[in-house]
Every structure is written in structure tokens, then in C-alpha cells.
Amino acid sequence: MLTIRDAVYDDLPGMLAIYNEAIRNLNATFDLEEKTLEERQQWFEAHGGRYPLIVAELNGEVAGYCCLSPFNPKPAYENTAELSVYISSNHRGNGIGTALMRDILQRAEQLHFHSLISIIAEGNTASVKLHEKFGFSCVGHLREVGWKFGRWHDIFYYQYMFKNQLQ
């Protein structure tokens, strides 16, 4: 049974494995070296409250995770967040991204965010489809900004705007 819930510290090894797998095999992150548990602990502790970190748990295993992070530290950006979602290679294509996205969008609306931004590298068609399914629009394209796997990669900015959010 799939459960979407707040991440807890005990989930960190599972999230770390998913992230390090992405570093090794995907252009979904432009980190080039695998992270240690200690490094990801700092990342974990930067979430919670206004910036939720959630996991998809399937049969006791972390199958994916999703979070909101500050888009920019300047105060005028406080109602915009960056959204990230990562799914274990063992569980892609099974609706886990959809479940995580649905939950994080509800949380973001309750937290009164006005806008969410996702940065998606070229070729990540599954992520593009997931974001477009929920109403994200491509609002920007930067060419050849990330060097990984021996070549340059473009990135695309996808944005979701909440309706009826007051200042």
C-alpha cells in the first residue's frame, strides 16, 4: 500500500539512495558527486514547516520523495518555492510521482504559496509529463548550462500558479 507522509529522519538513507542513484545515472540533478549521509542530513534539516519534505512509502520502503525549497533567499520571493521530486528507479511509472505531486500541491496551497518553480533538464520527458499533467507551464529555457556525462545540458523552468492566492 502506498502512503504519502511527512519525511522523518529514518527515511534519510532511502532518500539518499534515490538521490545518489540520480547523481550517477540521470541529469535530473547537476550534482556530480554522490552525497554522504551527513551532507544530506543538513539538507533534511533545512526542510519542514513552510518547506515540506514528503515521502512515498511502499511496503515499508521509501519509493520516492518530494519537497519545497526556497526559490530565492530575497524576501520578495517568499511566496514562491522550488519543487523537486525524485522516484526510485524500482518504482518509476507506477503513479508515485502523481501521488507525491498531488500531495505537495495541496500543501503548497495551504501554505499560501503563489507560485512554484521546477527546473527540469532536457530529455526528462517523464518529469515534463508529470508537471504538465498538474498544470505547470514551461516559462523559460536556458541553453547548455549544465555539464554532465560528457556533454552540455539545457534546462527548462516550469511554473505552477495558484489561483485566488492573496498577498
Dmax of the chain from CA atoms?
Answer: 45
Q: How many domains does the chain have?
A: 1
Q: What is the distance between the alpha carbons of residues 13 and 152, in angstroms, rounded to a whole number?
A: 30
Question: In the predicted model, what is the mean pLDDT of residues 89-110?
Answer: 96
Is 45 a domain residue?
A: yes
Question: In the predicted model, what is the mean pLDDT of residues 33-52?
Answer: 96
Is 166 a domain residue?
A: no
**Backbone phi, psi, residue 132, to 5°:** -65, -35
Residue 165: per-residue pLDDT: 57
Q: What is the distance between the alpha carbons of residues 128 and 122, in angstroms, rounded to a whole number?
A: 9
- The residue among 11, 108, 8, 115 whose CA lies nearest residue 71 is 115
The rounded Cα 163 to chain-centroid distance in angstroms is 21
Residue 163 pLDDT grade (very low, low, confident, very high; cuts 50, 70, 90): confident
Residue 164: per-residue pLDDT: 65
CATH code at 21? 3.40.630.30
Q: What is the distance between the alpha carbons of residues 143 and 96, in angstroms, rounded to a whole number?
A: 30
- The residue among 88, 165, 82, 167 whose CA lies nearest residue 131 is 82
Beta carbons of 84 and 100 less than 8 angstroms apart: no
H/E element holding 114?
Answer: none
Is 125 a domain residue?
A: no
∠ CA 14-57-127, rounded to 5°: 80
Is 153 a domain residue?
A: no
Is 110 a domain residue?
A: yes
Is 18 a domain residue?
A: yes
Question: In the predicted model, what is the mean pLDDT of residues 93-109?
Answer: 97
Question: In the predicted model, what is the mean pLDDT of residues 42-66?
Answer: 97
Domain, as residue range, for 72:
2-118
Beta carbons of 57 and 63 less than 8 angstroms apart: yes
